[in-house]
Chains A and B, each alone.
Chain A
Amino acid sequence: MLKFFSGLAAAALLMSSTSAIAAECSNDTWKKIMERGKIVVGVKADYKPWGFRDTSGDIIGMEPDMARDVAETMGVELELMPVVSSNRMQFLEQGQIDLMIATMTDRPDRRAIVGIPGPAYYTSGTNIMSPKALGFTEWEDLRGKPVCGIQGAFYNQIVEDRYGVQIVAFGGTAEAKQALRDKKCVAYIYDDSAIGSDIASGNWDDFEMPLASEDDSPWGLAVPLAERNCLFGRFMSGMQYAWHSEGTLIELEKKWGVKPSGFLQKMHERMADHLASE
């Protein structure tokens, strides 16, 4: 067995040697986008209001709007490709998408796989949506109980380890929420911003978001790892800086009915034009 694995490791070594050496910028993705005249952006299609489908099937939302701004600034056409949490990094790595703006939390192990240029464009914490009837008040109340979630969320393991929650993970939010309605679990665990907008939608009147959000973490958009410190990565850093300093994200937040976030306000003030106020 060990022999097999070491053989595998040798093969791995050969395969990864090219990416390990790549230090100088080839700007492949940027050139590809420009030559093609089109940028393919991976966005969520099931995460209202960040990225979802309208009644005619088009993907709309806050992140598609951001993607549109990127395409317009680069002067190319925009193609939106729906991704889910469990495949978005692979799509980017393999070049099916050029850029990913898909509600991804910025995590160290993810930075090893995709290029996440700063500054973050949003933050969110982990929370649950649970029936008012159950009256949960703290995370410990969930110990040993089944909680529906989705595959690919980073906090699944964290809450399992920390509070002994029994995560039942589905492929998408629709199945997980359906399972909650069917009373197959006591709560639905997700990002607090999305739960907030679910509850505000009026379809979940008997439910609440009762806990203090945990692990408030920044969201990062991602470019291929090799582009992180090259033209495309730097350009996306600039886009995010501009969105903060010009208040674009705060406007989009209003447009899409996202609960106003203290983070965006703080970033807007911090990155505001220092001469404009004088």
Chain B
Amino acid sequence: MTGIEEYFRHLAEEYPRWNFIWLYDEKQAGRILSGLFMTIRLSIACVILSVVLGVLGAWLQGARSRWVRAVVQGYIQFFRNTPPLVQLLFFYFALGQFTPSYSPDGWLEIPIISNVGWAIISLSFFAAAFNMEIFRAGIEAVPDATQEAAESLGMSRAQTYGYIVFPLALRVSIPALNNNLVNLVKTTTQAYAIAVPELLYESVSVWNDFPSAQYPTMLLLFVVYIGLVGILVLGMNGWERRMKIPGYGV
């Protein structure tokens, strides 16, 4: 046992409220690490998927077809205006019954979409609804004259969107997108409700088994989320700087 482990074991004996058990007990450390790994996986998957969906949705919002616009609008209203926790439970328990499943032992029906899969889908769709509105705001900030100029050069709608409108809109959108993605990373904790073994789930399991480890584990949660969100924000800020166009003031 190293000195650090010894120190925290001793601390726990002395002050039963401050049992940093995951610093000296291998099994608990493993739980925390696997939870952390799951949280990172969830965060990365949801951030990417929600941004892709957001870009797509914002483009479809400007579609010529009234029906496409109505569908996108309906999607946004549904996902933005209902609680993410309820969405998670509904997706996993209600919709989960209709997805195809396979059965290895005659009883278990393992759905093709696992609880982790549902968490990624549900949280990404939730964040994507906000992203669409964020990108729409960016798109509306691009002057009509710029678009008309592109059209007059003979560019198609897709080309105008891809080469002119979206790159400019993105620059306007980044600060708001930043906010939403930070929220998304924190919202991954709600996957706890459908037993996705992410960091909060594992932490709660640790402090249920060792009530004395509750305060230290909560502290760990704060530190980890500050760290994760910090990394995301640093990355986003760097991106924002690199995307800066001299003279294009935002």
Please determine whether B208 and A13 come into contact, CB atoms closer than 8 angstroms: no
- Which one of A24-32, A180-188, A191-199, A247-255 contacts B? A180-188
Tally chain B residues at the interface, Cβ within 8 Å: 38
Q: Does A134 contact B (CB under 8 A)?
A: yes
Residues of B within 8 A of A6 (CB): 7
The one of B194, B201, B209, B214 that contacts A90, using a Cβ cutoff of 8 Å? B214
Instruction: Knowing A90-B214, A151-B208, say if A170 contacts B18 (CB, 8 Å).
Output: no
Residues of A within 8 A of B97 (CB): 182
The one of A109, A157, A184 that contacts B211, using a Cβ cutoff of 8 Å? A109
Q: Which of A150-198 contact B (CB under 8 A)?
A: 151-154, 156-157, 168-171, 175, 178-179, 182-186
Please determine whether B214 and A8 come into contact, CB atoms closer than 8 angstroms: no
Q: Does B107 contact A (CB under 8 A)?
A: yes
Expressed in whole angstroms, the Cα–Cα distance for A15 and B210 within the complex equals 19
Instruction: Knowing A89-B211, A133-B107, say if A16 contacts B93 (CB, 8 Å).
Output: no
Give, as a whole number of angstroms, the nearest-CB distance from B10 to chain A: 10
Please determine whether A131 and B195 come into contact, CB atoms closer than 8 angstroms: no
Please determine whether B209 and A182 come into contact, CB atoms closer than 8 angstroms: no
Instruction: Knowing A9-B11, A112-B211, say if A86 contacts B108 (CB, 8 Å).
Output: no
The one of B105, B211, B216 that contacts A113, using a Cβ cutoff of 8 Å? B211
CB 8 Å contact bits of B77-120 with A (1 = contact, 0 = none): 00000000000010001001100010101111101000000000
Please determine whether A134 and B208 come into contact, CB atoms closer than 8 angstroms: no
Q: Does B153 contact A (CB under 8 A)?
A: no
Tally chain A residues at the interface, Cβ within 8 Å: 42
Residues of B within 8 A of A19 (CB): 17
Give, as a whole number of angstroms, the nearest-CB distance from B68 to chain A: 35
Give, as a whole number of angstroms, the nearest-CB distance from B218 to chain A: 11
Expressed in whole angstroms, the Cα–Cα distance for A113 and B207 within the complex equals 12
Please determine whether A156 and B93 come into contact, CB atoms closer than 8 angstroms: no
The one of A113, A146, A156 that contacts B205, using a Cβ cutoff of 8 Å? A156
Please determine whether B204 and A86 come into contact, CB atoms closer than 8 angstroms: yes
Instruction: Knowing A133-B106, A182-B97, A186-B108, say if A16 contacts B211 (CB, 8 Å).
Output: no
The one of B4, B17, B204, B212 that contacts A2, using a Cβ cutoff of 8 Å? B4
Q: Which of B194-250 contact A (CB under 8 A)?
A: 194-195, 201, 204-205, 208-212, 214-216, 219
Residues of A within 8 A of B17 (CB): 12, 15-16, 19
Give, as a whole number of angstroms, the nearest-CB distance from B111 to chain A: 8
Please determine whether B211 and A151 come into contact, CB atoms closer than 8 angstroms: no
Q: Does B166 contact A (CB under 8 A)?
A: no
CB 8 Å contact bits of A77-97 with B (1 = contact, 0 = none): 000000001100110000000
Please determine whether B16 and A112 come into contact, CB atoms closer than 8 angstroms: yes
Q: Assuming A171-B193, A175-B193, what are 18 further A-B pairs, CB within 8 angstroms?
A: A2-B4, A12-B15, A16-B18, A86-B204, A90-B214, A109-B210, A109-B211, A110-B211, A131-B107, A134-B106, A151-B201, A156-B209, A169-B195, A169-B205, A170-B193, A182-B93, A182-B96, A185-B108
Q: What are 15 pairs between A and B in contact, CB < 8 Å?
A: A9-B15, A85-B208, A86-B208, A109-B212, A110-B211, A133-B106, A134-B105, A154-B209, A168-B195, A175-B193, A179-B195, A182-B93, A182-B96, A185-B108, A186-B107
Binding site for A on B (CB under 8 A): 4, 7-8, 11, 15-18, 20, 23, 89, 93, 96-97, 101, 103, 105-109, 111, 192-195, 201, 204-205, 208-212, 214-216, 219
Q: 9 shortest A-B CB distances, which residue pairs?
A: A12-B18, A183-B109, A152-B208, A113-B211, A112-B16, A168-B195, A16-B15, A157-B209, A16-B17
